[in-house]
Structure 1
Amino acid sequence: MEYLKKRIVVTAEFDSRDESYSWILNWLSDHPYSQTATQFSVSTTIARGAQKINGEGGDGAISATYFLPAPGLHFFWYKNRLIWMYRERVRPAGSTVASAGAAVENITISTLGRSRHVIQSLITEAQRKFIDRDQARTVIFQADQYGAWRRTKSRPKRPLDTIVMEPKLKTHIVEDAKEFFASESWYSERGLPFRRGLLLYGTPGTGKTSFIHALAGELGLNIYVVNLSSKNLTDDTLSELVSDTPSRCLLLIEDVDAAFVQRESKDAATGITFSGLLNSVDGVSAQEGRMLCMTTNHLERLDEALIRPGRVDIRARFGKATQSQAKELFIKFFPQAKSATVNTTSIGASVQPSTPESMKVNATSQPPLVVTADTDISVIENSSTSRAHESVNRTARQTEALASQFAKAIPDQTFSIAQLQGFLMGYKKTPELAVQHVEEFVRRAGSAEVSGTTKIGYDDEDDKARDAAADKDEKQYYLEDSEEQERERKEFREEKEREKRASIKLE
């Protein structure tokens, strides 16, 4: 019988410890049979090792749910051929209930005939379907304590135009990376290692890591992150991890200066040596075809051997925001809308925190800002109740005018992009208020009084009252949101929640 089965039946086997198991589960979850099977299992993940993938777990407000054929024998049709599938759940030999981890599963798919074409076509279709899940996303892998790459999350690809940085620098790095991945034969003909090194340095909050995520999305590559401060990481483990990276990927080492300063380990318990790091990224066994990306806030602390030409081919400095970058960031935060409704009385009221009298805002001291038809920005008096709601059509030119006034108030090379972004986050739907309070932000940002995300709305008299009441050594100020601000924040959260639920349904 075994001989006859081998002659007239084609069978493919899938093991849950292999990635191909995820392909077939993903394919089965979308097959019509899984929607009608009376014996089915419910799962929140279809990736091997219970690793979350696109649309699973933290990617949405509600965990993904998959209905799959239960363990046992099942029959269904594929391309007019009868297919039978047997799903078996096996506990590893010698394991106990207390010590065993996830049970090992096997799936066998069979059909009559001697040709493997139908089964191979099914497998190819399942593989392509699984890969297509991540076509519009960047997958991030991280080294685990056992020296293996573990898929941690996937996120939508970030467009490069959302990164605010020097345009020439952005273009140069992207074009260099594209040229590198298209030049494998050129490197081979000249006997050069097919590797490229990129070092991003600068003050914190200037967008170094964000740019790497956007670069990976632009190139269609995944990111493999190595944490050098891990206590379980040794030279041998690191070398094996780097060797196991795919031939086309971004290998990211963040804050490399925190692990090594002038060839000395910062922590004696760290299992990686400086020479081990050098051999891993540029040794004989180092993987080719990948781009090494390192970030640091202190370039001067790095040993020259680590950043010499050949290991680091491009050094890119990320500085603090210029006025042109501040303007670009403002326009990205508040793109022109066909119809934007501005409450001209609530603009003055929204900057009045519901705090004690000493922290209230004199609304008349800073009249609200509106945009006129000729794109000029003017100050108007408080409107009457009949003009409580005024509809303003904010065009591209008017947004440009607001952005120009915002940028004019921001001094060059003083604030990081993260600081400006934190300030604008407080005015998600009211760019006029952001422009109105930017000078106050510039005057106070960087101190303990304003974190950058708090909406600013107080005058000098309030400052004096708070300074007199606060302890000189430990100043802390808290601004509570008004009813208008709370309502705006609630609407924003509800809108994002609806978008999440809609994206889950589409997936």
Structure 2
Amino acid sequence: MGLGFAATLFRQGAIAGLTALRRRMLVTLELNNKDRAYEWFLAWMAEQNRLVASSSSRSVKWLRSHQLSLETNVEQRSNGSSSVLFRLVAGPGVHYLKYHGAWMQMKRERETKAMQLMTGTPWETVTLTTLSRDRGLFPRLLAEARDLAMRSQEGKLVVRTAWGIEWKPFGQPRRKRPLRSIVLGKGVGERIEHDVQAFLRRRQWYADRGIPYRRGYLLHGPPGSGKTSYIQALAGALSYDICLLNLSERGLADDKLFHLLSNAPERSFILIEDIDAAFNKRVQTSEDGYQSSVTFSGFLNALDGVASGEERIVFMTTNHIEKLDPALIRPGRVDLSVLIDDASPAQAKTLFTRFYGGDEAVTGLTEEGVERLGEVLGSITNEEMQQGRRASMAALQGHFIRYGAQEAVDTCRELFVDRRDAL
């Protein structure tokens, strides 16, 4: 009995001593999939695993892992084509790596019994463990993961869509479009850009006066005039992302709309297209009889009500501003309303010279020849406008892509239509 009692005390003492020693000598870092750094870390691991396989990594050494997970990214394009990218990352289980001379244990755990209610994604946790003396390597590792994620998106535009009550990236990051590639009327683009930049500089000014720090823009005009294209280019110029919000999305209700608008990612524009059709029953009702439950009053309250969030920029577009309720476009909900109209003579000439200028080897035209044809196109545009006929910038762009410079000018009159009949 005495020996058994002594053995029990020794075992408990050994366990307590080992636990105390572990607490003193080891440090643990926990990441869960609710944190943005979680995806960065997994992407970093996948990249390091690839570098180790190619013997080009000097900072990380892996033991061979037999537990892998597959992540598939699908990008569906508007023309029906799609691309699929596969990425192999460390799966649930225990893995080991040597980072800058320090061994670390990486344990990935997945909760199979509990799921995120809105997305159905299982909760996951990654735990990194190393010696306490090497705790300074954690910020260094996370900084590398962050920089890798930022480099992969450098020069690109990230578009997000609502997934439940969360914003998720839609497809792969898109290449940024130069702001000068969008040809608008004289001073129109500069007016919007200057207003956005002034708003971003006046955060403290808003706070000192108790004004909610948010801004709303409405771009209206005929189809194909460049409203959405300009917003995308402006977001790229300011290094902002775009959160595309579809008010007709299945399952979207007022409470979810409040949450989405109040929790938009930092440095992002919220884009709501065709706002005039958002509360049209014909548009909201799908083939299976489903109708969105977002109400007009709920949408107005989400924009500037008591429960509305701050620190956001909302862009709305419409082809028919006359159909909008005055309550929607009042100041506070729409702070700046700008007309993006059909092609003017100056716009048509500018777009033409940008398409065909600077490449004499391809077009066979000198800069003077391109300028002369641009003047002819501007004159034709002016004549058609005097007769009440207009052409959109999108129609002109497609026309220029299809034809050479001389032929594009000779056949451009077919693009002009009576806008009253077209609408």
TM range (shorter): 0.7 to 0.9
Aligned mates of 1:57, 1:442 — CA distance in 2: 33
Match of 1:152 in 2: 170
CA distance in structure 2 between the partners assigned to 1:108 and 1:266 by the alignment: 45
User: What is the aligned counterpart of 1:219 among 227, 238, 248?
Assistant: 238
Gaps of 5+ in 2: 1-17, 56-61
Change (3 A) 1:409 1:44: farther
Aligned to 1:206: 225
Match of 1:422 among 398, 408, 417: 398
Identify which of 238, 243, 261 aligns with 1:242.
261
Instruction: Select the residue among 85, 98, 105 that pairs with 2:105.
Output: 85
Q: How do 1:464-475 and structure 2 match up within 5 A?
A: none
Residue aligning to 2:44:
27
Aligned residue runs from structure 1 range 91-490, under 5 A: 92-93=112-113, 105-114=124-133, 116-144=135-163, 146-153=164-171, 154-260=173-279, 269-340=291-362, 392=364, 394-410=365-381, 411-412=384-385, 414-427=390-403, 430-439=404-413, 441-442=414-415
Between the aligned partners of 1:15 and 1:338, the Cα distance in structure 2 is 56
Change (3 A) 1:311 1:57: closer
Residues 15 and 94 of structure 1, relative CA distance in 2, 3 Å threshold:
closer
Give the AA of the match of 1:438. C
**CA gap 1:169/1:443 in 2 versus in 1, 3 angstroms:** closer
Partner of 1:319, secondary structure, is: coil
Report the residue type matching 1:3 in the other structure: A
- CA contact under 8 A between 2:108 and 2:125: conserved in structure 1? yes
What is the DSSP-based 3-state SS (H/G/I as helix, E as strand, rest coil) of the residue aligned with 1:167? coil
Q: Structure 2 vs 1, CA of residues 400 and 312 (structure 1 numbering), >3 Å: closer, same or farther? A: same
Residue 310 of structure 1 aligns to a residue whose secondary structure is: coil
Residues 58/303 of structure 1: CA separation in 2 closer, same or farther (3 Å cut) = closer
- Give the TM-score taking structure 1 as reference length: 0.67
Alpha-carbon contact 1:330-1:403 (below 8 Å) kept: yes
Summarize the Cα distance change of 1:87–1:103 in structure 2 as closer, same or farther, 3 Å threshold: farther
Distance between the aligned counterparts of 2:303 and 2:417, measured in 1? Answer: 44
SS at 1:286's partner residue?
Answer: coil
Assess if the C-alpha contact under 8 Å between 2:216 and 2:332 holds in 1. Answer: yes
Asked whether the 8 Å contact 1:34–1:40 carries over to 2, the reply is no
Q: Does structure 1 residue 14 correspond to structure 2 residue 31?
A: yes
For residues 183 and 101 of structure 1, the distance between their equivalents in structure 2, rounded to whole angstroms, comes to 40
Deviation at 1:335, TM superposition (A): 3.3
Is the CA contact (8 Å cut-off) linking 1:75 and 1:83 kept in structure 2? yes
SS of structure 1 residue aligned to 2:27:
strand
Tell me the residue number matched to 1:4: 21
Instruction: Report the secondary structure of 2:351's partner residue.
Output: helix
Pairwise CA distance, 1:82: 1.5
Q: Match of 2:98, as an amino acid?
A: W
The one-letter code of the counterpart of 1:308 is: R
More moved, 15-24 vs 185-194: 15-24
The 2-side partners of 1:300 and 1:152 are apart by 32
CA contact (8 A) 1:41 1:67 kept: no
Residue pair 2:268, 2:313 contacting (<8 A) in 1 also: yes
SS at match of 2:399: helix
How far the C-alpha of 1:198 sits from its partner, in A, is 0.5
Q: 1:205–1:416: 8 Å Cα contact kept in structure 2?
A: yes
Tell me the distance in 1 between the aligned counterparts of 2:282 and 2:328. Answer: 13
Aligned partners of 1:445 and 1:148: how far apart in 2? 44
Counterpart contact for 1:33–1:76, Cα < 8 Å: no
Q: Which amino acid aligns with 2:334?
A: V
Given that 1:326 and 1:406 are in contact with CA atoms closer than 8 Å, whether structure 2 keeps it comes out as: yes
1:341-392 deviation digits (Å, cap 9, x = unpaired): x7xxxxxxxxxxxxxxxxxxxxxxxxxxxxxxxxxxxxxxxxxxxxxxxxx4
Q: Aligned partners of 1:247 and 1:221: how far apart in 2?
A: 8
Pairwise CA RMSD: 3.2
Question: What is the CA–CA distance in structure 1 between the aligned matches of 2:322 and 2:416, rounded to whole Å?
Answer: 31
2:69–2:91 contact (8 Å) kept in structure 1: no
> CA 1:238–1:72 in 2, change beyond 3 Å: closer, same or farther?
closer
Using a 3 Å threshold, how does the CA distance of structure 1 residues 320 and 63 change in structure 2: closer, same or farther?
A: same
Distance 1:90 1:172 in 2: 50
1:72 positional shift: 4.9
- Tell me how far 1:399 sits from its aligned partner: 2.2
CA distance in 1, matches of 2:205, 2:298: 29
Q: If the length of structure 2 is used for normalisation, what is the TM-score? A: 0.79
Question: Aligned partners of 2:68, 2:178: CA distance in 1, in Å?
Answer: 35
Q: How far 1:333 sits from its partner (Å)? A: 2.2
Deviation, structure 1 residue 126: 1.2
Q: What secondary structure does 2:314 align onto?
A: strand
1:68/1:93 CA distance change after superposition, 3 Å: closer
Shift of 1:77: 3.4
Structure 1 residues 40 and 207: CA distance shift in structure 2, 3 A: farther
- Equivalent position amino acid for 1:417 in 2: M
Q: Which residue of 1 aligns with 2:59?
A: none
Contact persistence 2:240–2:268 (CA under 8 A): yes
Identity %: 34
Q: Is the 8 A contact 1:85 1:107 kept in 2?
A: no
CA drift of 1:34 comes to: 5.2
Q: Which amino acid aligns with 1:78?
A: Y
